[in-house]
C-alpha cells in the first residue's frame, strides 16, 4: 500500500469509528507503518472529519515529516512499534465500555476479562490493565512499552484501550471485539456467568493464532 492509500485508509476507518460512537470529541488516535516512516492521526483532531493530507507522517525518531502536528500519544505508538516488530498498526480509543471496565475494582489486573466468547479469545486473549498516567505523559509511553512486548492489547486505566495489529483492519477488529466484550462483561458482572474452559480457549488459540 502506498502512502496516499494509507492516508485514505486511516481517514475512512477513523470516520467509521467516530460515526459508530466508538470514540468521541477529539479523543483517540490511529497509526500505521509505511515503508519510509509511519502515519499517525494529528493531535486535537476529530476522527469524524479527518482529511487524509492532515495525517502526520513521522520518521522512526519521532520527527514530523509532513502533515499536521502529531498526536500527543505518538511516543506511546512509537514505543509499541519498537517492542513489536510484527505490528503494523495501532488503535487507541476512549470507547466507553472499555473505559468503564478500567474503573472496576478487584478485577485481575493481569487479565481483566474472562474468555466469555470465542471471538474475544481469538482476537484479544489476555488484557492487562496499565496503571494511570496523564494522556501524553512520557511515563505512560514507557509503561506501555513494558507491557507491549507480551501483549498486543492493553487497557489504560481511566483512559481506554491500546491495540496493535498486523494490519489496520486487524487492530480495529480486535479493538471492536474488546469494546463489545467489555459491554457484555459489564452486563453479566453482577450475575453468575460461565466462561469458556481453558481447553476450549487453547483449541481456539491453536486454530486461530493471533498475529499482531
Ligand atoms: O486520546 C487522546 C489522548 O490520549 C487524544 O490525543 P491527541 O488528540 O493528541 O491524539
Ligand atoms: Zn487517549
The predicted-structure confidence for 153-182, as pLDDT tens digits, reads as follows 999 999 999 999 999 999 999 999 999 999
Domain ranges across the chain: 3-207
- On whether ipTM exceeds 0.85, the answer is yes
Query: What is the distance in A from the centroid of ligand 2 to the CA of 96?
Result: 12
The pTM is what?
0.97
Let me know if domain 3-207 sits in CATH 3.40.225.10. Answer: yes
Are 39 and 32 in contact by the 8 Å Cβ rule? The answer is yes
Give CA–CA dist 184/181, Å, rounded.
Answer: 5
- Hey, which residues does 56 pair with through a beta bridge? 40
pLDDT of residue 1: 86
Q: Give the active site residue among 3, 83, 109, 119.
A: 119
pLDDT cut 90: percent of the chain above it = 100
Amino acid at each position: 500500500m502506498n502512502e496516499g492509500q494509507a492516508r485514505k485508509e486511516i481517514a475512512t476507518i477513523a470516520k467509521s469509528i467516530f460515526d459508530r460512537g466508538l470514540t468521541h470529541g477529539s479523543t483517540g488516535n490511529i497509526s500505521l507503518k509505511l515503508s519510509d516512516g509511519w502515519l499517525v492521526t494529528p493531535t486535537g483532531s476529530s476522527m469524524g472529519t479527518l482529511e487524509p493530507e492532515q495525517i502526520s507522517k513521522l520518521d522512526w525518531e519521532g520527527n514530523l515529516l509532513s502533515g499536521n502536528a502529531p498526536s500527543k500519544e505518538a511516543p506511546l505508538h512509537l514505543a509499541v512499534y519498537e517492542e513489536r516488530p510484527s505490528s503494523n498498526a495501532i488503535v487507541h480509543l476512549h470507547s466507553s465500555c472499555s473505559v468503564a471496565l478500567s474503573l472496576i475494582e478487584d478485577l485481575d489486573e493481569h487479565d481483566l476479562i474472562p474468555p466469555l466468547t470465542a471471538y474475544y479469545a481469538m482476537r484479544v486473549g489476555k488484557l492487562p490493565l496499565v496503571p494511570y498516567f496523564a494522556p501524553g505523559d512520557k511515563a505512560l509511553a514507557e509503561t506501555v512499552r513494558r507491557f507491549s512486548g507480551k501483549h498486543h492489547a492493553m487497557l489504560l486505566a481511566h483512559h481506554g484501550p491500546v491495540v496493535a495489529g498486523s494490519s489496520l483492519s486487524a487492530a480495529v477488529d480486535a479493538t471492536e471485539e474488546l469494546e463489545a466484550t467489555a459491554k457484555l462483561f459489564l452486563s453479566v458482572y453482577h450475575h453468575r456467568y460461565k466462561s469458556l474452559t481453558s481447553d476450549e480457549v487453547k483449541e481456539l488459540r491453536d486454530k486461530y493464532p493471533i498475529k499482531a
